[in-house]
Amino acid sequence: MEAVSFRYPDGQPALHEVSLEIPAGGAVGILGSNGAGKSTLMLHLNGLLRGSGTVRIGDLLITERTLAAVRSRVGLVFQNPDDQLFMPTVADDVAFGPRHQGCKPGLVEERVRQALRAVGADALMARPPHHLSLGQKKRVALATVLAMDCEVLVLDEPTSGLDPRGRRELTRLLASLPQTRVISTHDLEFTLELCEQVVVLHEGRVVAQGPTRAVLADGDLMERTGLEIPHSLRHSHEE
């Protein structure tokens, strides 16, 4: 992203001159208190929102003309999986993206199987999504974008609402994926476990970017941006 600014139609500014670079294949946390601009930033990564400045995915500049190509490269996983799952069965939901991309039926089936296997949900294929637990729904929502063969996964609050076991399983799963992962979250312990780098947003501006432990251990920065040093880091500081 280079010098990206965005203002909502009601005049509310959300991003100010945001510039950042995310390395391919890594996991990067986007952090900030409520209203910092995290969700607005995420929606710029596949062109759902477009402000001033430029956004590139690899060598592809996001423009009106490249939106379809960008959206097959960048998969967005919403915080609430019910916003993503709307078909009669899990298999139908996961097949929706590849079908829409024009894949042939045999390839669609193969993509569905691979994506559900990758998230450990192959047994759910025939189930109606609304009968699943929240943890299962989150896995299936992730499978819907994996099936589109995306290079970049953009996840909004992936651990919200999960119990400790579901959270652990999701952390393991996300750590095992080869795609570039951009994760907006309030869960700083999860960020420590998963992300090599973090970007801290405050009032729509990037106020810090760097290695996760170093950034999250900065007490002044955490205080100023309405965040807190994660418990596990505070503990090691005191020692």
Answer whether residue 38 shows pLDDT above 70: yes
How many helices (H) and strands (E) would you count in the chain? 10, 11
pTM of the model: 0.90
Answer whether residue 237 shows pLDDT above 60: no
The Cα angle at residue 40 between residues 38 and 41, in degrees rounded to 5: 65
Q: Quick: pLDDT tens for 171-203.
A: 999 999 999 999 999 899 999 999 999 999 999
Answer whether residue 239 shows pLDDT above 80: no
Answer whether residue 109 shows pLDDT above 90: yes
Q: Give the Cα separation of 236 and 87 in Å (integer).
A: 47
Q: Quick: pLDDT tens for 142-161.
A: 999 999 989 999 999 999 88
Answer whether residue 85 shows pLDDT above 60: yes
CATH superfamily, domain 2-238, is P-loop containing nucleotide triphosphate hydrolases (3.40.50.300)
Torsional class of 51: left (φ above 0), alpha (ψ -120 to 50), beta (otherwise) = beta
Look at the chain and count its residues.
239
Q: What is the average pLDDT across 78-100?
A: 94
Number of Cβ within a 10 Å radius of residue 187? 20
